[in-house]
Structure 1
Amino acid sequence: MTIWPPPQIPPFPPVRTPWRTEPRPSAPAPMSTQVAAAPGPLADRLLDHRIIALTGNLDRDASGRTVAALALLDASGDQPVRLRLTDVAADLDTAFTVLDALDLMRAEIHVTCLGTVAGGALAVLVPARHRIASPHSLFHLCEPDAVCIGVGIEAEAARHRDRMRTLTARIADTCGRPESDVAADMRAHRILTADEARDYGLIDTVTGAHPA
């Protein structure tokens, strides 16, 4: 006997075996996350020209890629390495990771700043031989966020204060200013234009044409 139309048979549930992994739902991309020093053809071409481009929040993964790229370029020649900072911010720990790598470089570091450079990302300017900014760049002097590493609150607070003193001292030495003045500006969240940052000592030159 033939039944028409044929009955609708519900699909069988998928068989679960140890040889087939469960499909995972794709998580939505974070709205505010940006990638710094992202791998890819463009980054590879920039590395060929000894350029490292950083943008967005310099998190642990991005700082690790940056350190690896710096080591590769330093081992491959003595020509200057150019860092291009576009709207970069960093917490204190990742800032010191990159700063330590820059301090170990034999090649000169040349930095070009575009957009806003904020917080711990200012540490990248410290060891640079040449520091250039676009006319509309901004420099946000502020205390970087602290990252808890599982220790007690008091120990973490003391560690943060020690690192802040070190960062402030390095910036003050670079700018030729009293450490107390730089510390006060960071507590006050002072924002400098490109011209003000040049006068402050954070950068050497403002490049590009100013609007009439």
Structure 2
Amino acid sequence: MNRPSGTYPPLPPSPPDPPFPRHTPWLPEPRPTGPGAVSASASMVVGDRDWLGERLLERRVVALAGDLDDDAVNRAIAALALLDATGDDPVGLRLSGVSAELDTVLPLVDALDLMGAPVHATALGRLTGPAVALLAVADHRVAGAHAVFHLCEPRSPHGIPGREVEALAAERAARLRSFTERLAEACRRAVEEVAADMRAGRLLDAAEARDYGLADATEPGRDR
């Protein structure tokens, strides 16, 4: 260190720099700051690499959970198309606590109807509204021991200008009728019966869903 000339008395020497601590398992090297929190859609965690989705696809499984949005449905449709094009083995569809609006479910129901490979669906938790059709239209359908099925009409859209209400109401009624017919066909029940149960908001447990025609079998609970 250079000292100013002519300083008297001379300045004391500067203390040495402290030694760097030796890194041990209890005092590791600092790690770079990780990315911030990422958002989660109705089906999978969204990240740079969807490792969970990749593992499920390797096992020919598509998983959906929560309130489905357009992004989750589009990815599920793409996954179903990929699995259908790459083999004839059954495709697993796992539904965990799924709810969705009518316009969100209809494209996914169409995709399931177009599958050449058989679809084996399992419902866990609560399936609400139009989401019950995702189990009903599968080739093999299993209801988890504690699954609950809520038959109810989809919610009406809000914030529509008055001049468009009548036209949109007629269009929505036609889509709802088409959906109800497909659900009734899958359950082998009369359309009027299914429509009445949806208006009443009927709740079904796993055994009742099997008897209703939503499922082929129930998954037994584990003995503790």
Between 1:90-99 and 1:122-131, the stretch displaced more is 122-131
The aligned residue for residue 157 of structure 1 is 169
Alignment counterpart, residue 218 of structure 2, candidates 186, 206, 210: 206
Which segments of 5 or more consecutive residues in structure 2 lack a partner in the other structure?
1-36
Alignment counterpart, residue 171 of structure 1, candidates 170, 173, 183: 183
Structure 1 stretches of at least 4 aligned residues deviating more than 3 Å after TM superposition: 146-151
Aligned length: 183
The aligned residue for residue 61 of structure 1 is 71
Alignment counterpart, residue 93 of structure 1, candidates 103, 108, 124: 103
**d(CA) in 2 for partners of 1:149 and 1:71?**
35
On the 8 A contact 2:137/2:183 being kept in 1, the answer is: no
The aligned residue for residue 43 of structure 2 is 36
Alignment counterpart, residue 152 of structure 2, candidates 139, 142, 145: 142
The RMSD of aligned alpha carbons is 2.3
User: What secondary structure is seen at the aligned counterpart in 2 of 1:112?
Assistant: strand
Displacement, 1:171?
Answer: 1.2
On the 8 A contact 2:180/2:195 being kept in 1, the answer is: yes
- The higher radius of gyration belongs to 2
**d(CA) in 2 for partners of 1:138 and 1:93?**
22
Displacement, 1:181?
Answer: 0.9
Displacement, 1:38?
Answer: 4.2
**d(CA) in 2 for partners of 1:149 and 1:156?**
12
Identical residues among aligned pairs (%): 48
Displacement, 1:126?
Answer: 3.4
Instruction: Name the CA shift for 1:64/1:150 in 2 (closer, same or farther; >3 Å).
Output: farther
Displacement, 1:94?
Answer: 1.0
**d(CA) in 2 for partners of 1:206 and 1:173?**
20
Task: Give the TM-score taking structure 1 as reference length.
Answer: 0.79
In structure 2, give the amino acid aligned to 1:80.
Answer: P
On the 8 A contact 2:96/2:126 being kept in 1, the answer is: yes
**d(CA) in 2 for partners of 1:163 and 1:126?**
18
